[in-house]
Amino acid sequence: MLSSSSSSSSSSSSSSSSSTLRSRLLQLESRFTWDLKREDLDLEGLSTRLQEQIEGLGQQGAVTHSYSFLAYVRYLQKRPEEAMSLLSQSEANTREVLGEESELRLIVTYGDLAWLSYHTGDFTQSHTYCRRVEDILVKYPTGSSTVLHPEVYGEKAWTFFKFSMLYYPKAISCFLKALELQPDDSEWNTGYAIALYRTEPRRPETFLEAEESPAIKQLRRALEIDPVNGVLLALLALKLSFYQKHQEAEALMERALEIGPDCPHVTRYVGIYLRQQAQVDRSIDLLQRALQRSSQSAFIHHQLALGYKKKKMALLNRKPYCNQEMQRWRRLAIHHLEEAVRLKPSFLFAMAELALLYAEDKDMSRAQELFQEALVMSSERDVYIRQFIHLRYGQFHQYHTNQEDQAITHYTKKLKQIAERRVWTDRGDSEALGLLGLVCRAEGDRRRAVEYYEKALERDLNKDQYLSALCELRMELQ
């Protein structure tokens, strides 16, 4: 039997050993150390997307990333045994694909294994994985303690990109760092191109008329390295269509379909393009085919719903029209939006569309309830999402409740958010400043409106409406 002093000494030693191990773990590059904040994160939706890639819907590199990322999601879902199994699969997959060149790709995987072992109480195994990472870093030094291997930057980039749209800026930064070290790497170029596509404004006027946007330039660069990437071809076609380059866009879309006719990641983007080009029936057919391969995709359900909504809108322009046909398209749209929201409860775009269709279907209580829920959820989300919610809620009140004051309130909030975003990007944007003056005046904040109109006039002395509004406001304030 141990004496009390021996027991105390053993406990102290164990505590010290655990503290030392944790200090080593904190030095590792791992999803456990990348400050991935997960408040209100849709873990089930993220899990579904990662599983789709693992099942062969993405490139081989994406599959490898997805195994280890899904393991982290399983850890967050308090399923550590599954997490450990997935990390082991990630290691095996990486070794199978890369063979002797796999070590640098395993730095993050071993870091995750070290942390997971620590959290499950297996300190010995955690120490072993720490040592594996340290051995790799000794074998392949970067020459600087502040520079990571491109494989680590790439892993961080994909993780940030898939985790949440709030992390897109971090993803872009990491892709750029990876490309500085490996400028011709296909995976980093592809990831950077897709990230730019997701974050770049769609409006062509954002760039000079003769200038191609950064996303288009990077998509072309990525396709130089990987010319048979159907997703890149489809995304480039979508971008070019915004610039009215329809002939090139059409050719790219046809090429994308030739390369990946049964790949949902290709057909869903082609489906979007076709719907935008008024080829709605062909778009729906493609998306239905994609849904057969990826039935749990909230994105595809959402896109199908928009296709049926477009058929419903087209029917309105034909008079007289068949009410039964109108109801058919509406019910199909509602069905797919309900599926999208069920699969991804945080899908606010789908939620707002669904609420408006409920109102059209005379289900006002469900519409109001869904709009209120979307407004609450959107408070911490991207400004584009909040604008969309206010737009749809304004339409709800304008067309279905006859509460014009409420419609004006939500339309005003949408305009305010647009103007604030433009001023944040360019403090000298006179039109945005004038719009903020108009909004503040509508809200009854005359003094703030005066400030905005004065700033607008400082930057554009030729805007008579600013001067007129300013004079009226000053008279009202006297």
Q: Would residue 446 count as lying in a domain?
A: no
Q: Would residue 357 count as lying in a domain?
A: no
What pLDDT is attached to residue 9? 44
Q: Has residue 329 got a pLDDT over 70?
A: yes
What pLDDT is attached to residue 380? 66
Q: Would residue 58 count as lying in a domain?
A: yes
Cis peptide before 150 (omega within 30 of 0): no
| pLDDT more than 90, % of the chain | 49
Helix, strand, or coil (residue 279): coil
Q: Would residue 227 count as lying in a domain?
A: no
Q: Would residue 39 count as lying in a domain?
A: yes
Q: Has residue 396 got a pLDDT over 80?
A: yes
Q: How many domains does the chain divide into? A: 1
Helices (H), 26-101: 43-52, 60-76, 80-98
Q: Has residue 337 got a pLDDT over 90?
A: yes
Q: Has residue 202 got a pLDDT over 70?
A: no
Residue 443 pLDDT class (50, 70, 90 cuts)? low
CA-to-CA separations, 270 to 184, 285, 353, 385, in angstroms, rounded: 27, 11, 22, 23
Q: What is the pLDDT of residues 270-304, one digit of tens each?
A: 888 999 888 999 999 989 988 888 888 888 999 99
- CATH number of the domain encompassing residue 46: 1.25.40.10
Q: Has residue 207 got a pLDDT over 60?
A: no
Tokens of 189: 């170029």
The b-or-e profile of 278-313 (16+ CB within 10 A means b, else e) is eebeebbebbebbbebbebbbbbbbbbbbbbbbbbe
Residue 6 pLDDT class (50, 70, 90 cuts)? very low
Q: Would residue 46 count as lying in a domain?
A: yes
CA distance 434 to 465: 9
Domain residues for 47?
12-140
Q: What is the pLDDT of residues 418-437, one digit of tens each?
A: 677 677 667 767 777 777 77
Q: Would residue 96 count as lying in a domain?
A: yes
Q: What is the pLDDT of residues 41-69, one digit of tens each?
A: 778 778 877 887 777 555 556 677 889 99
Q: Which one-letter amino acid corresponds to residue 168?
A: Y
What pLDDT is attached to residue 166? 81
Q: Would residue 343 count as lying in a domain?
A: no
What pLDDT is attached to residue 250? 93
Tokens of 367: 């519409």
pLDDT mean over 122-146: 94
Q: What is the pLDDT of residues 84-116, one digit of tens each?
A: 999 999 999 899 888 888 999 999 999 999 999
